[in-house]
Amino acid sequence: MDFELNEKQKRWRAVARDFANDVVRPVSQELDGRTNPLDCFDWSIIEAADSCGMRISPLPAQWGGDSTDHLTQVLMLEELSAADMGVAVTLAGAWRTMRWLLAEASPQQLNNWLPRVSGNARGLLAAALTEPEAGSDNMLPYAGTDGGMKMSAVRSGGNWVLNGTKKYVTNANRADVIIVFARTDNEKSLLEGVTAFIVGADTPGLTVGTIFNKSGERLANNSELFFEDVVVPDSDRLGAVGGGLYSFGKHQRATSAYNAATVYGVAREALRRSLVWTRSRIQGGKPIHQHQAVGAYLADMLGAVDVARTYAWRAAWAADNPEHFNVALNAFPKIFAAEQSMAVVAKCMELFGGASIMRDVGVEKLLRDASVFLHSDGTNIILRQRIATWLGTIAEQDFDTLWTPG
């Protein structure tokens, strides 16, 4: 296994690092502190991401991108998140949806929709899955017909009519193109009765509801979406009827790696700030990093970040090389990174002492951000259930393949 990054990956990581330091870091703290969540989002950041090519980097050259692979996106997300998690989440949501379109959309759909994405410097995408009464049921997914999403899509000639509500959707109020999941057969399970549709944000009957006032990742907006007799032509159905969740799972193998990078980037920033602080803070006649207990904390923090990064890199690589992929790689990297990042930031706050809870210092922001991924894109407990269910299918004679894929 080769752990050396190629030149393209190194180049994009450098682009993301410069962007994070020059564009995001100077405004992150101020935007995070604004009272109205709408004001925390800044279009100038997205426009700057467009200017340097990051916004549409996963797209092929014919649509203005660079066909960056999953590992490259993970490298970029770590750099972005170290400056601000919300910016990383905003772009990650768009990138994942672009990749899904590239994998599942027909040539005609790509020709119809990708110019709209690539030609708009503010062009973001969203995927609408969660509903007020359906979160974990959608993620597992629940096998019964009495749970999960209720939003409906009913055939009407050559169209579908969508009705229902989506909730907690990243980029929902900012996206120009939205992938929407809806029940097309209430008599079947979620894996057989849910279909995906491509919907433009300007479609009649689609409106934005509450913009949620979150504690963390405030530079990313999450909101409700209301669908009232939204008419979508069958030509904008994404994939097979009833195959929406299967398609989503198949083509979103790097989701956990993306999420992991987004949160361990926060932990990396906590470690960086801790190193700077403990070298300058004098107690007991010397910088506190020279005290044995503090040094042990810093060592633990480094180990947690590095292991989370290594796991995410492996998961991203396996997403690009599916013969080496397994279910755990699309669940546990996020679980591990989220929980270890919380531990790293907690140590950071302890090292900063009373200063850590002062808003102008910025450390408490890291704790608020890190806490988001204890639930985002699936609660850690439901992701553990997915892994446990998969483990139950592994025959004893195949147990060793869990560690030696391929």
Alpha helix (H) residue ranges in 131-289? 136-139, 190-193, 244-251, 255-280
Q: CA-CA distance, 228 to 302, in Å (whole number)?
A: 50
pLDDT tens, position by position, 371-381: 999 999 999 99
pLDDT tens, position by position, 1-26: 677 999 999 999 999 999 999 999 99
Domain positions in the chain are 7-118, 125-243, 253-402
Q: Which fold has domain 125-243?
A: Butyryl-CoA Dehydrogenase, subunit A; domain 2 (2.40.110)
What is the CATH number that goes with domain 7-118? 1.10.540.10
Phi-psi region of 148 (alpha: psi -120 to 50; beta: other; left: phi over 0): left
Other CB atoms closer than 10 Å to residue 278's CB: what's the count?
A: 21
Q: Which fold has domain 253-402?
A: Butyryl-CoA Dehydrogenase, subunit A; domain 3 (1.20.140)
Tokens of 209: 């509801």
Report the predicted TM-score, pTM, of the whole model to 2 decimal places.
Answer: 0.95
Same fold for the domain at 7-118 and the one at 253-402? no
pLDDT tens, position by position, 103-138: 999 999 999 999 999 999 999 999 999 999 988 988
pLDDT tens, position by position, 277-334: 999 999 999 999 999 999 999 999 999 999 999 999 999 999 999 888 889 999 999 9
